[in-house]
Structure 1
Amino acid sequence: MSLPSERDVLVIGGGNAGFSAAVQAAESGAKDVLIIDKCPEEWTGGNSYFTAGAYRTVHNGLEDLFPIVNNVDQVTAEKIDMSPYTAEDFMYDLNRITSGRSHPDLAKILVHDSNDAVKWLAKHGVRFQLSFNRQAYEVDGRIKFWGGMSLKTEDGGKGLIQDHRRAAEKLGVSIHFSTAAKRLVVDPETGGVTSVIVVHEGRQKEIKTKAVILTAGGFEANPRMRAQYLGPNWDMAMVRGTPYNTGECLEMAIRDASAKQAGNWSGCHSVAWDANAPAHSGDREISNQFTKSGYPLGIMVNRNGERFVDEGADMRNFTYAIFGKAILNQPGHIAFQIWDSRMTSWLRKEEYSDEVVKRITAQTVPILAQYCSEQGLQNKQRFEDTLKEYNRAVYAWRKENQGAKWDPAIKDGMSTQSSNDGINPPKSNWALPIDLPPYLAVKVSCGITFTFGGLAVDPETAAVISSITDAPIPGLYCAGEMLGGLFYDNYPGGSGLTAGAVFGRRAGRSAAAVAAKV
């Protein structure tokens, strides 16, 4: 199908936010909705394709989510412990994780629209499941969900994008790949966006439109912009997702439409990532399995053999997005995650099996140190001493708290800080000794997921704000990673996809309303 020269609504970017916007626009009455994406079709889905498909949402407990999930029978349901996750809970987590910097109106809408958004996605064919493998542990015969997050999509990001494409096709939304937005054309009298100059098959073409929705992602795959905005060493980060999120649409909106910048431009989501993964893009087959999020069950040391974070500071989905940065700042931008035989069975197979990661195993700590030295460890003696100091601190705390019970589904308080002993940094929860062979180590680096800096929007309509007038720019909307102001320094796991759907829907409704009036 040839690229059209005119469309009611033009969506730039084909990930979760873009599809949510396009489907909502079509559902809201927009006659001709087009998604363009600069990537070839084999890279469809943007960063959303590479996610685990987790959605953080307000809910009233299992009975609220049960109707939209497809992997729970009644027998299993009776074994599940899932507390309600209220609007107050979500807002508390968002505010504490972002140090209270999240824009209050954006935050309120994200929280209060979250439940409706996931149910709307389910209505449009997104297959949701309870996230047993990532967000629950079976303890004493009970399946305990933790960290306020329970939902994921079937087959993660791959399944999510498949479902989005089916929904878009059903509503007549057209998609053109290998089509890059180059320039926004702005009416000099109204300041509104009237068309977009794109590059398709090597030629420039103008697409006239009544509304443009920007959902083209951040600049996480652009080493220059990462170094410029995030700071030193960030050009060395490994790209977790698509190589096509390189920030041109952010720069285009600022340059052509005087879009106002907002949010944490020096901040990003980054994780502990397999050091042997591809450096400049994710692998579409292995995808999110390169994430290495088992650190709360063990410890991490840098190449000098020293610990550098509190692995038990909080539940994993409140720390994993900042620990990539901590690893990046270590010598050589690498670290080693370490466990003994007590914990290896608790590690998720999709992240730590022989098929997806290079496992370093040994029967003694000195031999483990030797094997790690062949992978970049530079101080074997300090490595051994660190484990000894850690174990000593664990046993000292346990001696004073003999009735304590290890529980990975809660912050159990099992730590390294007794009244007369302790280490720095501490391990505040889930601290068990690492002295029962065989031992396992995995080499990790920093994988960047998405950047937090973006464009200012009207929270109600998702209209982009002008830096000149401080008013909405007619015909220009924004959602997904391009929207700035929600996340600062960190983010609550699963809230990115939810935000893409919530504000994508608002942008889609607003764009359809504008298209109907013009």
Structure 2
Amino acid sequence: MEVKKVIDCDVVVVGGGNAGLVATIECDNLGADVLLLEKAPKEKRGGNSRFTGGVWRVAFDDGNKEILPLLDASALPVPVDSLDIAPYPKDEFYSHAMRVSQGLSEKKWTESLVDKSLPTLQWLVKQGVRFTVPAYSLVKRNGRNYLPPRTTAVEAVNLGEGLVEMEYGILESRRANILYETAAERLIVNSGGEVCGLIARTNEGMIQVNARSVILACGGFEGNPEMRRRYLGEGWDLAKLRGTRYNTGDGLRMALEIGAAPFGHWGGCHASVVSEDSPQVEAEAVGCIRYSYLYCIMVNVNGERFINEGEDIVSYTYAKTGREIAKQPQGLAFQIFDAKVTEYFMPEYQGAIHVESSTLEELAEDAGIDVKGFVKTVKDFNAAIEDDDRPFLPGICDGRRTVGLDPDKTNWARKIDTPPFQAFAVVRGLTFAYGGIKIDDKTRVMDTREKPIAGLYAVGEMPGGLFYHNYMAGSGLMKGAMTGRIAAAEAVARAKAMKK
């Protein structure tokens, strides 16, 4: 193939989200000549990371000693001296990861994620990334602001967009080599079976990048309707996409073409709860999430509940709830709130389209819900609350539950009896797919013979094997940064060895 230009470098990183950015920063730290290729235009740079909440899951024993010093006091939602952060020990992080994956997560990578989480956060702060705490997770306790256990303890300043812009800012301050609107299309493999570069498409034509190491960090196939239909099943080609339109499976395709081993849960995905009126693509850009469902009952168009809205805090349930909504008639559900809980709405609910009424019958009729079925559901729900005098504790599993329903609500159950009533229409929102390619503990891509493909590394969403069935909030960004650093160290070491 004729190319317009040839570029030589030590390491080329494909994909400019959090994982690729961390890999590029670390390659630069280690003295490599590194080139970053970003498929998106500059104004939309950052991959799926740009559309995240910017939260990070970190293991630590003493939040006030280990986490508070890493936070930017000027960006905190409360005074720093009023904040208490509950511990999140390594064994809890590990057990939670294994529980949500139904025991399928690769143990070695789960252990690495846990063990390297705090050092990774410390490294990010050292590079210049600023962090705060999620304001929506704070609760009042004894007059102080308390971050409960099991929540995500840190959040990048200005969320996902802030995160990637800080990381790009670090690279720009170092005059790093970044090519935008450049899509990798094919890996170059030499006669020895080693990856030695790639072919990419730019607005001016095709270019060839010769590199001693290639790091794939270009995400999954969530932006590709054909691949979604093929791997996730019927209807997923029509799902709303929370994140970037540019994650179309290019890196996975290129790796598989040269013999990389598929790995992980290819039929699974992170599917959360978004508003029905969200745009079809990049929905997160308009505040689409609807995560206050802990305090509602959720019904389908027949007025029937279909999920335990209070199974656990949002961090452990939001990524699987969208899949349950997709199973309902029309793939549609409604979050039903009464006036007692609206003060606990997350910010995305403010000003959002919804139906409001002083009676349940009018609410159902206006929302398009079967009136008779809905009224019966609410009546049965209210009657099934076990102990209505039990304290209601927002953000903390409080044991307020129903008994005798299918399904029961096991936390935050309160009677729906105080007008005005509100209904928010919600659908599934796809974030990313869990399937990927296999890597070893050095992030080297493995082939179908269980042998590493020399010169090729994969990070971020691209390696499979960590997420199955469900997902814990904050795990993805941490996985991306952790694997990005490992890949950078390995790729640079290989490049330096080849120069000798």
Do the two structures share a fold, i.e. TM-score over 0.5? yes
Q: Deviation of residue 142 (structure 1)? A: 3.7
Question: For residues 4 and 426 of structure 1, what CA distance do their matches in structure 2 show?
Answer: 62
1:498 is aligned to 478
Q: What secondary structure does 1:144 align onto?
A: strand
Q: What secondary structure does 1:476 align onto?
A: strand
2:355 is aligned to 360
Question: For residues 216 and 37 of structure 1, what CA distance do their matches in structure 2 show?
Answer: 8
2:23 is aligned to 21
Contact (CA 8 Å) 2:401, 2:410: kept in 1 or not?
yes
Percent identity (aligned): 37
The amino acid that maps onto 1:53 is G
Q: Deviation of residue 283 (structure 1)? A: 5.4
Q: Deviation of residue 4 (structure 1)? A: 5.7
Contact (CA 8 Å) 1:184, 1:196: kept in 2 or not?
yes
The amino acid that maps onto 1:348 is M
List per-residue Cα deviations over 1:259-305 (Å, max 9, x = no partner). 11111101111110011010133354x3xx21100000111111111
| Aligned equivalent of 2:431, options 449, 466, 482 | 449
**Mapping for residues 64-463 of structure 1, pairs under 5 Å:** 64-71=66-73, 76-133=79-136, 135-139=137-141, 141-146=143-148, 147-189=150-192, 191-255=193-257, 257-282=258-283, 284=285, 286=286, 289-349=287-347, 351-354=348-351, 357-373=352-368, 377=369, 379-394=370-385, 397-398=386-387, 402=389, 404-417=390-403, 422-459=404-441, 461-463=442-444
1:39 is aligned to 40
Contact (CA 8 Å) 2:439, 2:446: kept in 1 or not?
yes
List per-residue Cα deviations over 1:154-182 (Å, max 9, x = no partner). 11011001100011123342111111111
List per-residue Cα deviations over 1:328-378 (Å, max 9, x = no partner). 1111111101111110011112x1011xx20211111111112211xxx3x
**Alignment size in residue pairs:** 492
Q: Deviation of residue 438 (structure 1)? A: 1.0
The amino acid that maps onto 2:402 is T
The amino acid that maps onto 1:280 is V
**Residues 1:515 and 2:485 aligned together:** no
Q: What secondary structure does 1:342 align onto?
A: coil
**Residues 1:50 and 2:39 aligned together:** no
The amino acid that maps onto 1:353 is Q
List per-residue Cα deviations over 1:204-251 (Å, max 9, x = no partner). 221100110001011111111111111122112100011111112101
The amino acid that maps onto 1:407 is L
**What RMSD in Å do the two structures reach over aligned CA positions?**
1.7
Change (3 A) 1:385 1:227: same
Range that drifts further, 33-42 or 100-109: 33-42
Q: Deviation of residue 69 (structure 1)? A: 1.0
Question: For residues 444 and 148 of structure 1, what CA distance do their matches in structure 2 show?
Answer: 24
Q: Deviation of residue 81 (structure 1)? A: 3.7
The amino acid that maps onto 2:100 is I
Contact (CA 8 Å) 2:6, 2:208: kept in 1 or not?
no
The amino acid that maps onto 1:344 is T
Gaps of 5+ in 2: none
The amino acid that maps onto 2:44 is W
TM-score w.r.t. structure 2 length? 0.95
Q: What secondary structure does 1:442 align onto?
A: strand
Gaps of 5+ in 1: none
Question: For residues 191 and 408 of structure 2, what CA distance do their matches in structure 1 show?
Answer: 59
The amino acid that maps onto 1:398 is D
Change (3 A) 1:180 1:298: same
Contact (CA 8 Å) 1:102, 1:487: kept in 2 or not?
yes
